[in-house]
A and B are shown apart, each in its own frame.
Chain A
Amino acid sequence: MAKHQAMTQEWLDAWKEKIAGSKEYKEIAKGWEGSVSIIVNPDPDKGIPEPLYLFTDYWHGDVKDFLICDKAKAESAKFIMSGDYARWKQVARKEIDSTKALMQGKLKLKGDLTYIVRNIKSVNKVIDLLCEIETVWPDEA
């Protein structure tokens, strides 16, 4: 399996492809509509000199734009999640549960939590699919 540099456009493309190819996702995500942005706080020691802005968009089981973007685009998303690079790495490796991480202040969420909970199966599936990607992390390269 090809390896992908974390938090790059090719990594987002691989993630999008995984989601688009999942029949299970298509079925359970019928009720989800709207975009989620991921903001990665800078951590120069770990190879993230500037903040990173990732934009992902989902629509009733389909996937739309998955883009590295600027701050304005990220802040236009229906849900904005932000956190340190090390936290996102833990989420992508399933070392921490994203819901717990939110409640414990390890990640931040702007948006309607009840919508996310109502669609928690979709959220968990998207993270499961991310975990399946062979990823090269900037601090491990």
Chain B
Amino acid sequence: MAYDQDLSFVYFGPTRVIFGVGASRDCEMEMAGLGCRRALVMTDPGVMKAGLVEGVLKALGDKCVGVFSDVPQDTGVGVVNRAADYARGKGADCVVSVGGGSVIDTGKGVCILLTEGGGLENFEGIQLLTRPQTPHIVIPTTAGTGSEVTCMAVILDERKGQKILIVEYFNTPRIAILDPVMTEKLPPLLTASTGMDAMTHAVEALQSVQREPIADGLAMQAIRLLYRFLPICTQNGADLAARGQVQLAATMAGWAFGNAMVGLVHAMAHSLGAIARVPHGIANGILLPHVMAFNLEDAAESYALVAEAMGVREKGMDEREAAEAAVAALRSFLGRIGHPVRLSEVSVTEEALVKASALSLSDGAIVNNARPVMDEGEVLAVYRTAY
């Protein structure tokens, strides 16, 4: 395995992880361990309706001072500002997020505003904060985003009509509680697409220009677990042992990409999400093998590692052959988990592909791609192979 001789990097992963069936019942004890007494619970209407918040509220008892459940699918600055006002009014001293990526990112925004004051629009940027923020406990209800252990939040600025990126070490969640029960009721397609989000985090971390040995190790194990256990989860959602392994994989992939970053797949998926409203995990899953084929010359060594983790690198294969085997294996994996394989299956128009190609070039992820991409024509060609 070759790293540059002048390898230098920062690895950051301070989140305490609590894992196990029923672990969400420990929420109040974990909160007390942080010295907090007044929790705001952040969630969305779907999670509320699914009954996933009840157990958390019961565990928190009178330490829960309020529930903010108005988080939409793609959260925005206005939502965060309203939630922070609500939290301040309730005197909250910590946030407990129960939900997927949008809920967790809203929670991250509220933690900043509870400490720093003002509106979230003033915090667009990277590493601006100079002190620890309000403690954040995250209980994910999907297994994919990895947001429970990353310092990043992506939030729509409704006035500008674009998503803003906030990257702050000081705002990384303090505790992630991974309770397989919280993902038990996820339907098969959502299980598959969120799982492919995690798979994409791991594969893209391995090929990133910022890859490093710690993130590589986490990414490799995430791929092993996803390749083995995600098909079980899509076939039998009630298998909590498999659900747990996929949750752990998503968290490991979160640490991996939180440090090594992601690449072209994410740039293209973000753009498709903005223009054609394609769900992030589905866009990632469809695009992943096509971007891997595009990157093959520049990332053969990394993709050979993907093949090793999936157990498809046969004896005698050189790196390129192993990389090609990884691409083929991921294509057939999509079929095994019932994931869409073509963009044309998810109501994307060809016109949207042209717009998304241009937008992809301004996505922060693209600068970390193993193969440098400077031309929107190259991006459009990849979209078309996936169409």
Contacts and interface: CB of A to CB of B under 8 A. Distances in A.
Interface stretch (B49-57, B240-248, B330-338, B360-368): B360-368
Interface stretch (A14-22, A62-70, A104-112, A133-141): A104-112
A51 to B, nearest CB: 14
Contacts of A102: 126-127, 167
Given A113-B364, A117-B362, A103 B125 contact: no
Given A99-B367, A114-B362, A107 B374 contact: no
B2 interface: no
A103 B363 contact: no
A100 B210 contact: yes
B162 A114 contact: yes
Contact of B363 (A111, A112, A117): A117
B128 A110 contact: yes
A111 B125 CA distance: 5
B276 interface: no
A54 to B, nearest CB: 18
A71 interface: no
B1 interface: no
Interface string B338-367: 000000000000000000000001111011
A59 interface: no
Contacts of A120: 367
A114 B165 contact: yes
Contacts of A110: 124-125, 128
Given A113-B165, A121-B374, A103 B362 contact: no
Given A114-B362, A117-B363, A118-B362, A103 B126 contact: yes
Interface string B361-380: 11110110000001000000
Interface in B6-21: 8-10, 12
Contacts of A96: 8
Contacts of B364: 113-114, 117
Interface residues of B, number: 23
Contacts of A118: 361-362
Interface residues of A, number: 21
Main secondary structure of the interface of B (DSSP, over half): loop
Contacts of B362: 114-115, 117-118
Residue from the set A99, A111, A115 with the largest chain B CB neighbour count within 10 Å:
A99
B210 A103 contact: yes
Contacts of B255: none
B367 A104 contact: no
A107 B165 contact: no
Nearest to B366: A117
A109 B127 contact: yes
A104 B9 contact: yes
Contacts of B374: 121
A101 to B, nearest CB: 10
B261 interface: yes
B164 interface: yes
Contacts of B383: none
Given A109-B126, A112-B124, A104 B10 contact: yes
A102 B367 CA distance: 13
B169 interface: yes
Nearest to A119: B362
A96 B148 CA distance: 29
Interface in B201-217: 210
A99 B128 CA distance: 15
Residue from the set B8, B125, B374 with the largest chain A CB neighbour count within 10 Å:
B125
Given A113-B126, A114-B162, 18 more contacts: A100-B210, A103-B261, A104-B9, A104-B10, A105-B127, A105-B169, A108-B125, A108-B128, A109-B126, A109-B128, A110-B125, A112-B124, A113-B165, A113-B364, A114-B363, A115-B362, A117-B366, A118-B362
Which 3 A-B residue pairs are closest in the complex by CB-CB distance? A118-B362, A104-B10, A110-B125
